[in-house]
Amino acid sequence: MQRVPHWHNSRKLVRLDVKGRIGASVLSVDERNHAAAMRLVLGIESSCDETAVAIVGDGQQVLAEVIASQADDFATWGGVVPELAARGHVASLPGLIDQVLSQAGVQLESLAGLAVGAWPGLIGSLLTGVTAAKVIAQRRGLPLAAVDHIQAHLAAVHLDQPNVTYPLVGLVASGGHSNYYLGDAPGRFVMIGGTIDDAAGEAFDKAAATLGLEYPGGPIMDRRAALGNPRALTLPRSFIHDDTLRLSFAGIKTALLYQIKGPLGRDPMTLDENGINDACAAFQAGVVDCLVSKLLLAAKIHQVRAVAVGGGVACNSELRARLTTATAAAGLQLYLPKPRHCADNAAMIAALGHFQIERGELAGPDLVPLPTGNAGPRRKSLR
Ligand code: KG4
Ligand code: ZN
């Protein structure tokens, strides 16, 4: 059976029909002229189950972006099936590249370079994007930047905020990572703390499964939490009172499981819709408390005046609200990208690629993707 890509996101330059599919380009003549004056980087992101391509000017202005998500396909599996995800990228990628080029009114020859998410991620998925980027770069003689997905989540702040000041402390909270970083330039962040077990997004997804909700559970819990009472359940906030930058979400996840299913599976709670909403609100409040308090602590310890937050969990409405109020109260500048640039996207890859190409940090035809690898010192062997 042929898999049909499910389009679900785009930007103002792309017209959406009622089902959210991509329609014709709407770039005006002025916008095309403006685009011609910028250094344009085409970014490719394929680290997990989303295939994304974007063209970004000068590391900050998104000219066109498209995402084909396989999330609906994986809802039935309760998670991503790596081999299927890789095949989905192969099917989607060529069409998406054509699509952004035509939407931006740009030829491959007029690009300043290409950028591709090269690590970390599912190896089969990464291979598809990296191979496509290497082939185009080689054939067209374009510079290629190998981008760290986690560093790119922090570089996303440049897309929505032209004047980002460094140094800053960053938090990346996603399905696979929940860590704090300190950086003095895009792509130059080092890890300073984070989770010792589950990532925040992973904890949301597992808590949602406990409550009988679909994958990915984070967005569903977010919507339901708005209707619930966060004080209906008492859940732990690990390490919240210590002076380290450690996070742990295994405790809150297990506490929720025991309260809902009962100890050893005996005496489970019967949850109606309101009960599920309350559990979502209580769980979300616990995770948000931990993420925000340790971010403020990180800024204090490292004496920075600005913080950046990215990753899929940064789409969470309660987290966004609390970040806004808490950083204002602490006198910190908050860089928080739009939700679509917090979740996995290719604009963030192109944004960071712009800075790497500008600094001459280029990848060659020997570039190989890596399943692991965290934000940290640049790997010389992959240059
Ligand atoms: O950054 P991302 O799109 O992919 C990874 O690199 O992991 O993050 C996906 C994670 C999933 O665990 C998802 O449940 C979570 O982000 N997420 C949310 C929300 N939107 C996505 N978690 C809580 N609230 C949300 N609104
Ligand atoms: Zn991500």
Return the higher-pLDDT residue of 13 and 372.
Answer: 372
For the CA of 199, the closest atom of ligand 1 is 12
In the structure, which protein residues have their CB atom closer than 6 angstroms to any atom of ligand 1? Answer: 48, 174-176, 201-202, 204-205, 216-219, 222, 311-313, 315-316, 343-344
pLDDT tens track for 362-382: 999 999 999 986 544 444 333
Which carries the bigger pLDDT value, residue 107 or residue 28?
107
Closest ligand to Cα 122: 1
- Per residue in 265-303, pLDDT (tens digit) is 777 888 899 999 999 999 999 999 999 999 999 999 999
Query: What are the structural domains of the chain?
Result: 6-156+345-382 (3.30.420.40), 168-342 (3.30.420.40)
φ, ψ dihedrals at 332, nearest 5°: -105, 145
User: Nearest residue CA, atom 7 of ligand 1?
Assistant: 175
Asked whether the predicted pLDDT for residue 186 surpasses 90, the reply is yes
Q: Label the pairing between strands 22-25 and 14-16.
A: antiparallel
Residue-wise pLDDT for 72-99, tens only, equals 777 777 777 888 888 888 888 999 999 9
Q: What is the pLDDT of residue 27?
A: 58
Region of poorest pLDDT, from 8-22, 184-198, 206-220, 347-361: 8-22
Tell me the DSSP string of 238-303: TTTTSSS-EE--HHHHHHHHHHHH-GGG-S-----HHHHHHHHHHHHHHHHHHHHHHHHHHHHHTT
Helix (H, G, I), strand (E, B) or coil at 194: strand
Give the nearest ligand 1 atom to 201 CA. Answer: 12
**Residue indicated by tokens 């570039």:** 367
Least confident of 2-16, 163-177, 222-236, 329-343: 2-16
Residue 258, by phi and psi: left (phi above 0), alpha (psi -120 to 50) or beta? alpha
Q: Which ligand is nearest to the CA of 49?
A: 1
Rounded CA gap, 187 and 5, in Å?
31
For residue 271, the CA-to-ligand 2 centroid distance in Å is 32
Chain centroid, CA 296 distance in Å: 21
Amino acid at the residue 109: E
The per-residue pLDDT for 375 is 45
Q: How far is the CA of 311 from the centre of ligand 2 (A)?
A: 5
Q: 154 or 77: which carries more pLDDT confidence? A: 154
